[in-house]
Structure 1
Amino acid sequence: MRPFLISGTLKLRGRLTLYVTLLAVAPLLLSTWVGSNTTQQMMQEQVHEMLRIEAQGLKDLVEASLVERETSVRSWAEDTLLREALLTGSYEQSDAVLSRLQLRYTTFTGLVLFDESGRAVSASTPALKDSFLGQDAAVRDTPWFKAAQQGRFTSETLTEEDPVFGMQVLHLAAPVMESRGGRRLGVLLAAYDWGQIGEVVKTALERARKRKNESFALEVQTASGKVLFDSRGQDARSIRNAVAVEALNGEEIKDVGDGWRFVALSDPEEVYATLHKLRTGTVAAVMGVVALAALAAFLLARGITLPITRLNQAVRRIVQEGDLTQKFDVRTKDEVGELAESFLQMVGNLRETTESLQRGTRVLTDTVAELTRAAEQQESNITRQAAALQETQVTAQEIKQTSMVAAERAGAVLQVASRAEELGQGGALALTESMSGFQTLSEQVDDMAQQISRLNERAQRIGGITQTVKGLADRSNMLALNAAIEAVRSGEHGKGFAIVAKEIRTLANQSIQSTAQVGTLLEDITEAILRTVELSEQGQARMEAGMVQARTSADSIRALSSIVQDNMNAVRQIASAVSQQNAGIEEIFNAMTDLSTMMHDTMVGLQASQRVTEALREVASQMEQVARSYRV
């Protein structure tokens, strides 16, 4: 639980105990936490440094061992007897050489000499040589044989158990070269017993056991992560969250193990067991210090709060029993003693205040009684005035409604009169415009009659011209006929002229026909013009009669408009009088409403005064009870 929540539920003694304990324990906890973290960091650094040294030592030992074995195999491959055996095909001496080498270097499980075809021609033991019989192709396909032909070593077959040697071996193969020509004669294989690494790590494991670190282990891994050696055995379980440090076999010194990782690891629970014990002891010591600090804080808080508790008991008796006559003594000269003296002075002042309060409550009670009687008499008078005012307001409301109805009807009559006036003025204006239109139409009819007369004259002229054209066509026809007769008389010389006369005659006949058609059309046009003239004369006569009637209607409408105008003026006067009457009644009603509002406000104020008087009565009663609750 957080401290600010605890402070709201604990008493002063508990809060003092808590705060003093926190002030005493917080620096201790902080220093303990810092020291624990520092110790843990130092121990982790020591463990990592120890593992790094072991991993680096294993790397150096294995690297030196591999370099030494590779150097030995290369020097053996340069032996003269091995070269002569491959050149001559006699292998008794090479068998003896290989047998002596194996006896001298026990870390190798066997040595075999192969020719270029992969056939085993010599070995350190006859049984080993027989194991490779018929495996020439398989030998040629092995990684170590191919690497030897290229003049290098490989460790690709180290992760598997060799079927010939029956164990895990490191194949160190070197080419056997001719001394003069540099031609490759064969390959020398030296099978290094990989189990010998266990002898190398024995010293490191013994050091770990002396440190009581039974879970310490060393591993050799390839660059891809395959385990080549594990000091716990091939079937050992992996350590969960193990503390591990590795050393990398770099290429500074060329050997077959370049890229290998040498790992030193251990179980963290075992490595940090001392740290855990130290941490447990530290926690126990801190808990003991916390308990002692809490006890000391409790005693200190009890000594501080005991006088305050006595003072609290005295205050509680005053609150619960109202006894201001009691006395108490706090024998202390600190701030609590000063508080007690101040409290005694406060009790004395409270006693005097209570006496004055009792006297004041009696006076207040009498005053409130007189105010109550006066308020009741005033309420009775105002109630009667409010009833009379309400009746007057109802009457004014009825007069107001009657006036509003009269004003609405006068407004309606005024609207109707205004509408009649507008219609009369509109009718007179329409008649005026109609008369103007009739006059314009009459003038247009006269113009049209004149145009029709001129059209008739032109039609008659066209008829005369048509007769002239017809006469010319008849004469042309006669001339053409005479020309045809003359052409017949002329014989052959007049044939061309006869053709022309025939065409002229044809044109003359067509002109006569067209002239006849034009004459017929002119006769029709003339008849139509005559009918139009008659209709124009009849329309003009009717238009004159309509204009006479329109003038008569215009005079009647003007007289009616004058009468409507007089009625309109009278209605306006009536509406104005009704509006003034309505405004006066509205003012009277507003005055009555204001008077009613004022009367209501007076009633509300009187009721408020009564409530205040009642509240004062209650307050006086309460003050009297409070004053009587203390004994003075």
Structure 2
Amino acid sequence: MRRGLSIRWKILTGLVVLAIFPMLLLSYLFSDFTDRQVSDQIELKADQAGHYIMLLATQNEKSLAEALKWISQETELVNALHFGEITGDPEQLHRLLKHYQDQYHFDEFEILLASGQRHILSANADNGEPIHLKTTDKQKIGFHKEPISQVIVEDHHLSIFSSAPIALQGSVIGNLRAFNYIDDQYAKQSEEIIEADIAFHNGEKVLSTNLEEFRKIPLNLDEILDEDAVLMTLRSQPHIVYNYPLNHDKAGFMIALNRSAIQAANSSLRQTLMMSTIGVMVAAVLLGMIISRGIAMPLNSMVTNLQEIAEGEADLTKTLDVSTRDEIGSLANSFNRFVKRLRSIIEKTRGTAGSLSEGTHTIRNRFGEMDNAANQQTKALEQAHQGVTEIGQSAGEVADNVSTLVASVQQSSAATHELESTTFVIAEQMENLFGIISDLSSSIHQLSSSNEQIDGNVIELSHNARETSLAAEELEQATNTIKESAEQTSRLAQQAANESLEGKAAVQDTILGISELQLMMEQAHLAIKDLGERSDAIGSIVNVIA
């Protein structure tokens, strides 16, 4: 499928992928990073809130201890306590307790005597006003001779407790004690400060909170408190709950931060990233279309022109528009130069084709002339061949005549043995005869050589004719080869004709020589015969003389 895509779609797809993939990856990484950052920020906020609550409790302990220390050193309070213990009248002591309660707004304020008697002043939970003052012998907390300050769990509620000794003449006569309750009101005030839901517990259950849903936490609070952070649904929204200890072995508090803000922030971030991704994709598509169009248009024009060139229908006068100076512009310039050069080559080819047409016409004319010359050469060769045939026949007749002549010579030689006196003359004539025969043999040998040369010339002429036919197919080399072959053929044909004429003349001369030799042999035979007759006559005369 990828091979079937056009280059424009490949570029467009590549640009879109390169634009979207980093955005998606960045969205994923940034979303995960944002989740961690927000979680870290929430945890940091929870830590800051927890640190603030612990610091607030510590400050309450210190402020409560300092207030009690100052009150315990008041001479009026010491005297009222001593007077009431002596007289049994606590009226003055109770009046001072109300005065200090009105001044410091303790949730509970009491004086514990060394005898165990307690003077308690409790405040109204709604407005902090004292509601009753009572005296009891039941100790709430043991007697202390040193000042203390701590968080205590009493009657299923948490309190910040502080105690300061009251001394008279170097001996401790009582403890001045104050309690500030960590109740729902305290939790609401803390929630307003830290802007998070808070619940105080004793390690077993929630004792005070600003949100009643905290009191519905399952009984497995220990398991929840063992975790640094747990997810809970409060106010019908997901919350992250963190647990922190107080200045107590079991007591502590939980801070719940709304996670919906994180989810809203993440959703907003995802929407922003999604919109950014869509915007980048649209921008990438538009930019890709512009870039791919700038790249694909020259290439498409080039492909169209090349297809037209391949199909033979190209308009070589058209050129590509060069609007850029990049690689595409360089390619378009190169293509324009190619088309210009191709147009020049075609024009040259057309001129060459015209010249070639004229050359072909000239070659055809020369072929016609050569055809006529070849016909003439063929006729001359046929005549030469006929002459050679006649020469061969004449040579046969000459050979027969020579054989007859040799036989006659042998007969004449036999007759001349009888006449030694005439042999010298006959021998000389025979030497002349054999010289003529030698000349005749040489002539016959030359005639045979001429015949072989004529046959070779005929073969060579046929070979040259084939070369001429092949050379005609090879147009660019035909002219020179044809000229050379024509000249060589003409020379060979002329030479063959000349040699044929010379051979024919030599044969005719040989025939004439043989005829003359035959006449001479006949004359010699007659002379020998005459000599024989004369020898017979001489013999007869010798016999007669004898």
What TM-score does the superposition give when structure 2 sets the normalisation length? 0.41
Structure showing the higher strand proportion among its residues: 2
TM-score by length of 1: 0.37
**More helix by proportion, 1 or 2?**
1
